[in-house]
């Protein structure tokens, strides 16, 4: 009998939290803002950068007196880039009574998280998830500060055709939501422009060895190949392609916009690789951006090398701006403000023209970089 | 010609699987335990190799291939000792606790080792210093290329596997090992110190695994803390495929898995290679449940 009672007690204790903690912002105490990202796992470099970038701004805001007279409290959760984990930590952030959420890094993780934030009616801004489908679900409080994959796909196709003069192109992705989306858009635009997509396939990003597919790529007679996956695999691909003696131009997408790619590939194998991306922090010539970069360097002793760290900071700034302007922490008010009234803001990553009705940032800022002999990403002199 | 190149690719991957599979198979042989921590000991080999190399490179001017030797010695001894410690702390106290408890304990050790690596070395990809491994290769034909590193990897792998095989077949300790793998109690009656032999197995298996980790890292140039998971799982499967507990079986299984996977991704797509590889694996196990070279153990009552 007592066993049954103990079990009942356990059930009650375990389900209690379900009935509490749904109170929302109580307009007292700190304003809680959630940040979820891959603090561990394959994309940990980016997740940890998110944390640094946003923490810096939160500290600066609090030192300057906070927001609406209240401090900001940053609640950080690690989703490891994993969709299951992402849903879990999103729920945890909702339970922690945040007023808005920033994250996740990869589209695969952002997708389930956005469902949960939407159900909870929270403002959700992703710094870096560019899969087109994310804003096609009619979520009225979901925004992104990065740009859509289809714009980058268009840019990549134009770049390969006009700047590289390629005829036969290959496209390689890694089966992640983001990379596959970008690959499909690039394929569509390439074919529309009359390019011949002679190779289209995907790698398994858990692999360490890509020589089997590289051998096929070598046999396909390509002028250029566009890899839409992440930087670690891009580095391994470049190295192994060189080991196999392949001779073709590599173009990579914005997930490879990371100096670690060069390290992994080895400098001699990475030189001459093109990267289509948003401009790097150092090439963004706005006072706000320059100040952020120098503050970041002063605090952490390193520069914000990844554009996604800047985007995370941008996401926070957008939320802060909306709260300041509307003097509200109600997600509905904030979202309506961003949709309708927020225009021509001086962002850290360039001017923010505004957001369309789906929550996509308007305009585009994509450029092509080339890796020079010293291993630096420099703006390619020729842009489409 | 692409086929020849794909075979070269597959044999290289297979050699890595074989080297790691040896560790699983040896431990299973003597303890009937699947040592899931082996993949992560292998991963630690890659990290310790990096530390060792950087340390040796810091002592001298200019890079040369010779710095690899002291680093290998460091890796081999450290990982081997770690293996012994793992056995002593996590497996021996559970030896009489049935089959399940040690497996869970092994999984626990695997997670601990992985988290330790991540917390100590960081989550980002690590790159080995450049200029110490020979570059270049031979163009055998149009579209067929073998790199110097591939040749070295293959030679080193076969030498290590051959040495291990001879050790187990020809030496007294090796004979004792084979005896222990048949029956602990009878071995003890024959005057074999079973704990000592198990200790030796946990020196050699992880030691080899550690060196394999360093070779993988030297070959690919970079890795992160998940390295042990991917290679560990594949090598474990290779060991089963070849017949777990059987050393030539581990070599054969590794090679076979590497080649099947490579042909699968080369001729269909990397997205399908695991499907193909595991369909073949299941078929083999249906017809030979003990693996390709696994011995049929007749239960005598």
- Which CATH number belongs to the domain containing residue A238 in this structure? 3.40.50.2300
Answer whether residue A14 is part of any domain: no
Q: Would an 8 Å CB–CB cutoff place B227 in contact with chain A?
A: yes
Q: Would an 8 Å CB–CB cutoff place B186 in contact with chain A?
A: no
Q: Would an 8 Å CB–CB cutoff place B222 in contact with chain A?
A: yes
What are the C-alpha distances in Å from A339 to residues A67, A101, A347? Answer: 21, 17, 16
Inter-chain CB proximity B222 and A202 less than 8 Å: no
Residues A254 and A322 in one domain: no
Answer whether residue A2 is part of any domain: no
Token couple for B163: 């040495």
Interface of B with A in 45-104 (CB under 8 A): none
Answer whether residue A93 is part of any domain: yes
Residues A293 and A326 in one domain: yes
d(CA A314, CA A144): 10
d(CA A50, CA A220): 39
Show the domain range for A234. 150-277+367-379
Q: Would an 8 Å CB–CB cutoff place B114 in contact with chain A?
A: no
d(CA A228, CA A239): 17
Nearest to A239 among B124, B221, B227 (CB): B221
Residues A53 and A168 in one domain: no
The predicted structure's pLDDT at residue B205: 93
A123-126/A100-102 β-pairing: parallel
Residues A128 and A220 in one domain: no
Answer whether residue A384 is part of any domain: no
The predicted structure's pLDDT at residue A295: 93
Q: Would an 8 Å CB–CB cutoff place B17 in contact with chain A?
A: no
Answer whether residue A327 is part of any domain: yes
Answer whether residue A336 is part of any domain: yes
In chain A, the residue whose alpha carbon lies closest to the alpha carbon of B218 is: A264
- What residues of chain B lie within 8 A of the CB of A48, using their CB? 123
Residues A253 and A373 in one domain: yes
Inter-chain CB proximity B125 and A212 less than 8 Å: no
Residues A272 and A347 in one domain: no
Inter-chain CB proximity A201 and B271 less than 8 Å: yes
d(CA B110, CA B113): 5
> Which ipTM did the prediction report?
0.87
Q: Would an 8 Å CB–CB cutoff place A211 in contact with chain B?
A: yes
Per-residue pLDDT of chain B (301 residues; tens, 9 = 90+): 789 999 999 999 999 999 999 999 999 988 888 899 999 999 999 999 999 998 888 887 766 778 888 899 999 999 999 999 999 999 999 988 888 899 999 999 999 999 999 999 988 899 998 878 888 888 888 888 899 999 999 999 999 999 999 999 999 999 999 999 999 999 999 999 999 999 999 999 999 999 999 999 999 999 999 999 889 999 999 999 999 888 899 999 999 999 999 999 988 888 888 888 888 888 988 988 888 887 655 444 4
Q: Would an 8 Å CB–CB cutoff place A283 in contact with chain B?
A: no
Report the residue of A241, A243, A259, A269 to disrupt the B interface, i.e. the one with the largest count of B CBs within 10 Å: A243
Residues A229 and A344 in one domain: no
Per-residue pLDDT of chain A (384 residues; tens, 9 = 90+): 566 666 666 666 555 555 444 445 556 789 999 999 999 988 889 999 999 999 999 999 999 999 998 999 999 999 999 999 999 999 999 999 999 999 899 999 999 999 999 999 999 999 999 888 899 898 999 999 988 878 899 999 999 999 999 999 999 999 988 899 999 999 999 999 999 999 999 999 888 999 999 999 998 999 999 999 999 999 999 999 998 988 889 999 988 988 899 999 999 999 999 999 888 777 777 788 888 999 999 999 988 888 899 999 999 999 999 999 999 999 999 999 999 998 888 888 878 889 988 999 887 778 899 999 999 999 888 888
Q: Would an 8 Å CB–CB cutoff place A202 in contact with chain B?
A: yes
Residues A229 and A372 in one domain: yes
Residues A258 and A331 in one domain: no
Residues A206 and A342 in one domain: no
Q: Would an 8 Å CB–CB cutoff place B6 in contact with chain A?
A: yes
Residues A141 and A156 in one domain: no
List the helix and strand counts (H, then E) for chain A.
Answer: 13, 14
If one counts the domains in chain A, the total is 2
A274-277/A367-371 β-pairing: antiparallel
Nearest to A212 among B118, B230, B265 (CB): B265
């Amino acid at each position: 009998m007592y066993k049954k009672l103990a079990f009942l007690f356990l059930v009650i204790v375990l389900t209690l939290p379900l009935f509490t903690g749904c109170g929302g912002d109580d307009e007292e105490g700190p304003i809680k803002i959630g940040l979820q990202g891959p603090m561990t796992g394959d994309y940990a470099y980016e997740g940890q950068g998110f944390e640094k970038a946003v923490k810096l701004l939160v500290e600066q805001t609090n030192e300057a007196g906070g927001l609406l007279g209240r401090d900001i409290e940053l609640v950080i959760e690690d989703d490891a880039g994993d969709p299951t984990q992402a849903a879990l930590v999103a729920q945890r952030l909702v339970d922690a009574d945040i007023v808005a959420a920033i994250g996740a890094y990869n589209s695969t993780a952002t997708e389930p998280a956005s469902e949960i934030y939407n159900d909870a009616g929270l403002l959700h801004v992703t710094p870096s998830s560019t899969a087109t489908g994310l804003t096609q679900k009619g979520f009225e409080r979901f925004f992104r500060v990065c740009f859509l994959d289809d714009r980058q796909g268009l840019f990549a196709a134009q770049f390969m055709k006009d700047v590289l003069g390629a005829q036969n192109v290959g496209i390689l992705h890694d089966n992640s939501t983001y990379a596959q989306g970008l690959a499909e858009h690039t394929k569509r635009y390439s074919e529309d422009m009359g390019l011949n997509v002679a190779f289209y396939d995907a790698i398994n990003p858990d692999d360490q060895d890509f020589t089997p597919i590289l051998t096929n790529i070598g046999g396909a007679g390509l002028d250029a190949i566009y890899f839409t996956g992440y930087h670690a695999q891009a580095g391994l691909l470049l190295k192994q392609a060189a080991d196999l003696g392949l001779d073709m131009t590599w173009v990579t997408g914005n997930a490879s916009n990371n100096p670690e790619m060069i390290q992994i590939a080895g400098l001699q194998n990475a030189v001459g690789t093109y990267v289509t991306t948003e401009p790097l922090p150092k090439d963004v010539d706005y006072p706000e951006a320059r100040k952020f970069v120098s503050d970041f360097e002063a605090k952490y002793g390193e520069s914000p090398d990844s554009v996604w760290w800047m985007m995370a900071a941008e996401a926070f700034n957008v939320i802060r701006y909306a709260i300041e302007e509307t003097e509200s922490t109600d997600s509905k008010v904030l979202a309506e403000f961003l949709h309708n009234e927020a225009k021509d803001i001086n962002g850290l990553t360039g001017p923010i023209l505004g957001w369309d009705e789906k929550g996509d940032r308007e305009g585009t800022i994509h450029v092509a970089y080339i890796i020079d002999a010293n291993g630096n990403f420099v703006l390619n002199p020729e842009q489409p | 010609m692409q086929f020849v190149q794909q075979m070269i690719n597959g044999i290289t991957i297979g050699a890595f699987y074989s080297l790691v599979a040896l560790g699983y198979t040896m431990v299973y042989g003597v303890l009937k335990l699947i040592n899931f921590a082996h993949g992560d000991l292998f991963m630690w080999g890659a990290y310790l190799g990096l530390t060792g190399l950087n340390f040796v490179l810091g002592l001298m001017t200019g890079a040369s291939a010779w710095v690899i030797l002291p680093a290998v010695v460091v890796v081999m001894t450290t990982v081997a000792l770690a293996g012994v410690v793992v056995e002593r702390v996590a497996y021996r106290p559970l030896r009489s606790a049935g089959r399940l408890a040690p497996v869970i304990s092994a999984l626990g050790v695997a997670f601990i080792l992985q988290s330790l690596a991540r917390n100590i070395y960081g989550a980002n990809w690590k790159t080995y210093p450049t200029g110490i491994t020979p570059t270049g290769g031979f163009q055998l034909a149009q579209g067929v290329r073998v790199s110097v590193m591939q040749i070295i990897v293959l030679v080193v792998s076969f030498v290590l596997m051959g040495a291990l095989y001879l050790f187990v077949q020809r030496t007294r300790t090796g004979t004792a090992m084979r005896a222990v793998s048949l029956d602990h109690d009878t071995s003890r009656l024959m005057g074999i110190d079973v704990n000592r032999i198990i200790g030796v197995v946990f020196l050699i298996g992880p030691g080899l695994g550690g060196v394999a980790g360093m070779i993988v890292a030297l070959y690919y140039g970079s890795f992160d803390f998940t390295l042990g998971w991917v290679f560990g799982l594949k090598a474990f499967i290779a060991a089963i495929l070849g017949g777990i507990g059987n050393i030539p079986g581990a070599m054969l299984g590794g090679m076979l898995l590497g080649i099947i996977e490579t042909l699968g991704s080369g001729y269909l797509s990397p997205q399908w290679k695991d499907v193909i590889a595991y369909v073949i694996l299941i078929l083999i196990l249906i017809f030979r449940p003990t693996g390709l070279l696994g011995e049929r153990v007749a239960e005598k009552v």
